[in-house]
Amino acid sequence: MARKKKYNEDEVIEKAMHLFWRNGYAATSMQMLEKEMGINKFSIYASFGNKHGLFLKSIQCYKKQLNSIFEAFKNSNKGIEDIKDFFYNSVRICQIEGNQKGCLLTNTYNEFSGIEDKQINELMNSFMKDLKELFIQKLRMNSKKDEETIVKQANYLLLAKHGLAAASRVNNEKEIEDYIEMTFKNL
Amino acid sequence: MARKKKYNEDEVIEKAMHLFWRNGYAATSMQMLEKEMGINKFSIYASFGNKHGLFLKSIQCYKKQLNSIFEAFKNSNKGIEDIKDFFYNSVRICQIEGNQKGCLLTNTYNEFSGIEDKQINELMNSFMKDLKELFIQKLRMNSKKDEETIVKQANYLLLAKHGLAAASRVNNEKEIEDYIEMTFKNL
DNA sequence: TAAATAACTAAACGGTTGTTTAGTTATGAG
DNA sequence: CTCATAACTAAACAACCGTTTAGTTATTTA
């Protein structure tokens, strides 16, 4: 019937994601996105609705990239050791391209914590809930912990992930390793 | 010679601080600041230069508030127990007025991590450096740790403060306590 | 090849951004 | 009381924000 798109939506959304990741939502303008994505503003709006929609798609794109390590995480049965691997893998993902941008999800959680945004908040809460549930499952695998301890440790790990995001911005492999090892020392 | 200011600079900067704290730097506009501070834009510029200068002053104001617990922290000699108290006090400060805004310094560190801002970065780095040095001093007080372990633990605590900031946004005293106790369990 | 249609470009939209200006008001010192 | 001076108000500034429009170009299908 008509023309085909010159660009691939998955490719340009990944570029958008990296820009949001680096600068945060508020500090990223459509002009910057236009340049980074290499397509016209109109095309962005045609494909993704608006800036907010583009951001949501960017987060989904990030979660998709995370999914590879998430699947490995789910399908293993080594308990706490799996969580530790997950931490190491998470920090590795945050360091691609030599960046020190932390974790996009954690950054978003931080940026929107004082701001009411139903869609973002739902997205973040469901992610945190899923992650906590996974932590609990893994923690249950090891030894003879009571349920109270398990929940306590899962909460601890969920918050420790914020420290991990900060760690991933440190340009020092040793420091990162130290942080992770210290975190898991007493579980 | 001429009129006196109707407003007190220290009072209005505190109001500005709370707004920056709640929304972050980029998402806070001069219009919002004008309203919150209760003075005209012109007066803001006359007193604080520009938005960036106002933000720097706001951070200084925050650090000044932090200073009360910082002094108590410095002047005590209970070692690790002091650091734990510092964590509890930090989280308490982050919760004034029933807010869940985290720590302004941590938030700022997160927001500006991908953005080049010499003044902000210097400010953050010097704060982190000072805090780490204090942690090291406190850690040295306890028992017979070797220097390598001390530095490792200090780095861990510095990053754990990011988890603490996230914890302070959780509306659950028990969870916060659990996080802190878990953090200090293996030092 | 021709008509249909979607993707493209570029310019403009109204609103808001951070910042400055011009003009008024109040209060200090002489 | 007066006048110099600084703090005030309100309006305007250019630049940029996210978003939309109008008009052009290219490609598909019949």
pLDDT at A100: 78
Residue type present at position A40: N
Q: What are phi and psi of B47, to 5 degrees?
A: -85, -35
> Which residues of chain B does A165 touch, with a Cβ-Cβ cutoff of 8 Å?
162
> Looking at the complex, does the CB of residue A180 fall below 8 Å from at least one CB of chain B?
no
For residues B164 and A53, what is the distance between their CA atoms, to the nearest angstrom? 31
pLDDT at B1: 63
pLDDT at A145: 85
Which nucleotides on strand C sit less than 7 A from a protein beta carbon? 4-12, 16-22, 25-29
- Reported as a single tens digit per residue, the pLDDT across B134-170 is 999 999 998 788 999 999 999 999 999 999 999 999 8
Q: Measured between alpha carbons, how far is residue A151 from residues A89, A137, A140 in Å?
A: 23, 10, 10
pLDDT at A142: 84
> Which residues of chain A does B167 touch, with a Cβ-Cβ cutoff of 8 Å?
159
Q: What are phi and psi of B77, to 5 degrees?
A: -135, 35
The residue whose CA lies nearest the C1' of nucleotide D9 is: B40
User: Where do the H-state alpha helices sit in B76-172?
Assistant: 80-93, 104-111, 118-141, 147-167
Note the CA–C1' distance, A162 to C30, in angstroms.
Answer: 64
For residues B118 and B24, what is the distance between their CA atoms, to the nearest angstrom? 18
Note the CA–C1' distance, B42 to D12, in angstroms.
Answer: 13
Is A76's CB less than 7 Å from nucleic acid strand C?
no
Mind listing the pLDDT tens digit of every residue in chain A (187 residues)?
A: 677 888 999 999 999 999 999 999 999 999 999 999 999 999 999 999 999 999 999 999 999 999 989 999 999 999 999 999 999 999 998 887 767 789 999 999 999 998 899 999 999 999 999 999 999 999 999 878 899 999 999 999 999 999 999 999 988 999 999 999 999 998 8
Half-sphere exposure of B178 (CA within 13 A, CB side): 19
Which residues surround strand D, with CB < 7 Å? Answer: A 1-4, 28-32, 41-42, 45, 50-52; B 1-7, 39-43, 46
ipTM here: 0.91
pLDDT at A1: 64
Q: Please, what is the angle between helix A80-93 and helix A51-75, to 10°?
A: 140
pLDDT at A105: 96
* Domains, chain A, with CATH or none: 8-63 (1.10.10.60), 76-187 (no CATH)
Chain B: give the shortest CA distance to residue A139, in Å: 15
For residues B132 and B44, what is the distance between their CA atoms, to the nearest angstrom? 35
B33 closest CA partner among B24, B42, B41: B41
Residue B164 in contact with residue B179, Cβ under 8 Å?
Answer: yes
First vs last C-alpha separation in chain A: 61
Residue B183 in contact with residue B163, Cβ under 8 Å?
Answer: yes
Residue A48 in contact with residue A13, Cβ under 8 Å?
Answer: yes
The answer on pLDDT for B59 being more than 80 is: yes
The residue whose CA lies nearest the C1' of nucleotide C27 is: B3
Note the CA–C1' distance, A31 to C5, in angstroms.
Answer: 28
Buried b (16+ CB within 10 A) or exposed e, A72-100: ebeeeeebbebbbebbebbbeebbeeeee
- Of all residues in chain B, what percent carry a pLDDT higher than 90? 83
B169 closest CA partner among B106, B109, B81: B106
Chain B: give the shortest CA distance to residue A106, in Å: 9
- 3-state secondary structure at position A8: coil
Note the CA–C1' distance, A39 to C2, in angstroms.
Answer: 30
> Which residues of chain B does A22 touch, with a Cβ-Cβ cutoff of 8 Å?
114
